[in-house]
A = this chain, B = another copy of it.
Amino acid sequence: MPEITQPNDYALRTRGGRNPPEIMEALAALTQCRRGQEIQGSAQLAENWYRVVSGAAIKFTMLADGRRQIIDFLLPGDFFGFTAEKEHAFAVEAAVEGTVVARYPRQRVEFMADTEPRVGRLIREMAFETISRLQARMLMLGRKTAPQKLASFLIAMAERSAGGTAEVNLPMSRYDIADYLAISVETVSRAMTGLRHSGAIKLTSARRIRIIDPGALDGQ
């Protein structure tokens, strides 16, 4: 695991434009990860918090029957590792090659939050953002058909990535998308083809998607 010792400014910028205060950033250790590399182990002691700096990561768990459920896609700016338990309930691994993650020692940040209001507020805000993201996800998993799931996933990815450009880059595989939406790969593929045939989207490549008709996507 190559440790990057010198945090550089541009990489530390969060998506929302909120940077952790320097005093907190001084505690961060940057790490670059290979695709599939574990960042946080399930059942590991929750001694650190993390933030995605660049690339993408997935938070997931393996089900008893061997299938995988992805809990959350983590994009640059997203914090993770928050838990009420002593140990992490889920594993997190890099979804793309070269993903960079900042690691913050939990205890030290907690102590810092006690005296530094800015740090406390940032943590709360990040936790609230996680809550909002997870709640929005409930709607995606709930009563939606496969094409609807895929459509709202694409819309969410468009909003979360470069601020809503029409061309969406999907850093993850179809398998990842399937496990995220809790449908089979085949269904993802069919839904994608369906959206394409209906004229809602166009595929530049398998991983690059241009949204042609956002209305048609919404209506799915």
Q: Which residues of A contact B (CB under 8 A)?
A: 61, 63, 67, 69, 71-72, 82-85, 89-90, 110, 113-115, 117, 120-121, 123-125, 127-132, 134-139, 141-143, 182
Contact = CB atoms under 8 A, between A and B. Distances in A.
A84 B131 contact: yes
A148 to B, nearest CB: 10
A120 B127 CA distance: 13
A124 B125 contact: no
B182 A82 contact: no
B135 A138 contact: no
Q: How many copies does the complex hold?
A: 2
B82 A128 contact: yes
Contact of A128 (B90, B127, B129): B127
Contact of A69 (B69, B72, B130, B138): B138
A127 B121 contact: no
Contacts of A82: 127-128, 131
B143 A63 contact: yes
Contacts of A136: 89
B84 A142 contact: no
Contacts of A89: 132, 135-136
A72 B138 CA distance: 9
Given A90-B135, A182-B142, A128 B83 contact: yes
Contacts of A115: 117
Contacts of A63: 139, 143
Contacts of A134: 131, 134-135, 138
B84 A135 contact: no
11 contacts: A67-B143, A71-B135, A72-B135, A82-B131, A83-B132, A89-B132, A114-B120, A120-B120, A123-B124, A124-B127, A131-B131
Given A82-B128, A123-B124, A124-B127, 9 more contacts: A67-B143, A69-B143, A83-B131, A84-B125, A90-B135, A110-B124, A113-B120, A114-B121, A137-B138
B114 A110 contact: no
